[in-house]
Chains A and B, each alone.
Chain A
Amino acid sequence: MTATLNYIKDLNRETLDKANSTHYMKGARKGLSRELVEYISKEKNEPRWMLEHRLKSLEVFLKKPMPSFGPDLSGLDFDDIIYYAKPGEVTNAHSWDQVPEDIKRTFERLGIPEAERKYLAGAGAQYESKNVYHRLKEKWSKVNVIFEDMDTALQLYPELVQQYFMKCVTMHDHKFAALHGAVWSGGTFIYIPAGVNVNQPLQAYFRMNASSMGQFEHTLIIVEKGAQGNYIEGCSAAKYETPSIHAGLVEIFVKEDARFRYSSVENWSRNTYNLNTKRAIVEKNGVMEWIGGNMGSGCTMLYPCSVLRGEGSSADHLGIAFANTNQIQDTGAKVIHVAPNTTSKVVMKSLSKNGGKAVYRGLLNILKGAKGAKSQIKCDALILDDHSVSDTVPDMKIAENDVSIGHEASVGKISEEQLFYAMSRGLCEDEATALIVNGFIEPIVKAMPLEYAVEMNRLIELEMESAGAVG
Chain B
Amino acid sequence: MFSIKNLKVSINEKPILQGLSLKIKPGEIHAIMGPNGSGKSTLANTIMGHPKYTISHGEILMDGENLVSLKADKRARAGVFLAFQYPKEIPGVTVLSFLQMAVAAVRKVRGEPQLNPIEFRKLLRSLLAEFSLDAKFMNRYINEGFSGGEKKKMEILQMALLEPKIAVLDETDSGLDVDALKIVAEGINRLASPKRGILLITHYQRILHYIKPHFVHVMIEGQIVKSGGPELAQQLEQEGYDWLRPLVTPL
A-B contact count (CB 8 A): 81
* Contacting pair A431 B72 (CB below 8 A): no
Type the 1/0 row for B99-136, where 1 means its CB is closer than 8 Å to any CB of A: 10110011001000000000000000000000000000
Give the residue of A426, A436, A438 whose beta carbon is less than 8 angstroms from that of B102.
A426
Smallest CB separation, A428 vs chain B (Å): 5
* Contacting pair B88 A427 (CB below 8 A): no
Q: Which of A34-42, A124-132, A414-422 contacts B (4 or more CB under 8 A)?
A: A414-422
* Contacting pair B87 A421 (CB below 8 A): yes
* Contacting pair B92 A427 (CB below 8 A): no
Is A178 engaged at the interface, CB distance under 8 Å to the other chain?
no
A contact set with B: CB distance below 8 Å? 415-418, 420-429, 431-432, 435-436, 438-443
Give the residue of A421, A426, A429 whose beta carbon is less than 8 angstroms from that of B77.
A426
Q: Tell me the bound Cα distance from A415 to B50 in angstroms.
A: 13
Q: Tell me the bound Cα distance from A442 to B106 in angstroms.
A: 25
* Contacting pair B98 A431 (CB below 8 A): no
* Contacting pair B92 A440 (CB below 8 A): yes
Smallest CB separation, A161 vs chain B (Å): 42
Smallest CB separation, A332 vs chain B (Å): 21
B71: A residues at CB distance < 8 A: 423, 429
22 contacts between A and B (CB under 8 A): A415-B88, A416-B52, A418-B89, A420-B48, A421-B84, A421-B88, A423-B72, A423-B76, A424-B48, A425-B76, A425-B101, A425-B102, A425-B158, A426-B109, A427-B105, A428-B73, A435-B93, A435-B97, A436-B90, A439-B141, A440-B91, A443-B92
B102: A residues at CB distance < 8 A: 425-427
Is B82 engaged at the interface, CB distance under 8 Å to the other chain?
yes
B106: A residues at CB distance < 8 A: 426
Q: Tell me the bound Cα distance from A436 to B106 in angstroms.
A: 19
Q: Given A435-B90, A435-B93, A436-B90, A427–B101 Cβ distance below 8 Å? A: yes
* Contacting pair B76 A424 (CB below 8 A): yes
A415: B residues at CB distance < 8 A: 88
Q: Tell me the bound Cα distance from A441 to B90 in angstroms.
A: 12
A438: B residues at CB distance < 8 A: 92-93
* Contacting pair A424 B82 (CB below 8 A): yes
Is B169 engaged at the interface, CB distance under 8 Å to the other chain?
no
Q: Tell me the bound Cα distance from A24 to B207 in angstroms.
A: 78
Q: Tell me the bound Cα distance from A211 to B176 in angstroms.
A: 65
Q: Given A416-B51, A416-B52, A435–B88 Cβ distance below 8 Å? A: no
Q: Tell me the bound Cα distance from A400 to B99 in angstroms.
A: 49
Is B162 engaged at the interface, CB distance under 8 Å to the other chain?
yes
- Of chain B, the residue at the smallest CB distance from A431 is B101
* Contacting pair A426 B92 (CB below 8 A): no
Q: Given A424-B48, A426-B102, A426-B105, A439–B92 Cβ distance below 8 Å? A: yes
The 5 closest A-B pairs by CB, nearest first: A439-B92, A442-B92, A426-B105, A425-B102, A421-B88
Q: Tell me the bound Cα distance from A418 to B73 in angstroms.
A: 13
B72: A residues at CB distance < 8 A: 420, 423-424
A416: B residues at CB distance < 8 A: 51-52
Type the 1/0 row for B62-81, where 1 means its CB is closer than 8 Å to any CB of A: 00000000011101110001
Smallest CB separation, B174 vs chain A (Å): 18
A427: B residues at CB distance < 8 A: 73, 101-102, 105
* Contacting pair A441 B73 (CB below 8 A): no
Q: Tell me the bound Cα distance from A270 to B71 in angstroms.
A: 36
* Contacting pair B93 A420 (CB below 8 A): no
B105: A residues at CB distance < 8 A: 425-428, 431
A428: B residues at CB distance < 8 A: 73, 105
With A423-B72, A435-B90 already in contact, 6 other A-B pairs whose C-beta atoms are closer than 8 Å: A416-B51, A422-B90, A422-B98, A425-B162, A435-B93, A435-B98
Q: Given A418-B88, A438-B93, A442-B93, A423–B73 Cβ distance below 8 Å? A: yes
Give the residue of A426, A429, A431, A439 whose beta carbon is less than 8 angstroms from that of B90.
A439
Q: Tell me the bound Cα distance from A415 to B101 in angstroms.
A: 20
A443: B residues at CB distance < 8 A: 92
Give the residue of A417, A429, A436 whose beta carbon is less than 8 angstroms from that of B73.
A429
Smallest CB separation, B11 vs chain A (Å): 13
Interface centre among B51, B72, B77, B98 (most CB of A within 10 A): B72
* Contacting pair A418 B90 (CB below 8 A): yes
- Of chain A, the residue at the smallest CB distance from B74 is A428
- Of chain B, the residue at the smallest CB distance from A417 is B88
* Contacting pair B93 A439 (CB below 8 A): yes
Smallest CB separation, B89 vs chain A (Å): 8
Q: Tell me the bound Cα distance from A284 to B110 in angstroms.
A: 61
B77: A residues at CB distance < 8 A: 426
Q: Tell me the bound Cα distance from A379 to B141 in angstroms.
A: 20
Q: Tell me the bound Cα distance from A439 to B49 in angstroms.
A: 24
Q: Tell me the bound Cα distance from A258 to B81 in angstroms.
A: 54
- Of chain B, the residue at the smallest CB distance from A428 is B73
Q: Tell me the bound Cα distance from A415 to B89 in angstroms.
A: 11
* Contacting pair A421 B92 (CB below 8 A): no
Smallest CB separation, B69 vs chain A (Å): 15
- Of chain A, the residue at the smallest CB distance from B52 is A416
Q: Tell me the bound Cα distance from A468 to B97 in angstroms.
A: 28
Q: Tell me the bound Cα distance from A226 to B22 in angstroms.
A: 73
B52: A residues at CB distance < 8 A: 416
Give the residue of A420, A424, A439 whose beta carbon is less than 8 angstroms from that of B91.
A439
A426: B residues at CB distance < 8 A: 73, 76-77, 102, 105-106, 109, 162
Q: Tell me the bound Cα distance from A432 to B76 in angstroms.
A: 13
- Of chain A, the residue at the smallest CB distance from B101 is A427
A421: B residues at CB distance < 8 A: 84, 87-88, 90
Q: Tell me the bound Cα distance from A435 to B99 in angstroms.
A: 12
Type the 1/0 row for B131-170, where 1 means its CB is closer than 8 Å to any CB of A: 0000000000100000000000000001000100000000
A432: B residues at CB distance < 8 A: 73
Q: Given A425-B102, A427-B105, A439-B91, A420–B50 Cβ distance below 8 Å? A: yes
Smallest CB separation, A19 vs chain B (Å): 36
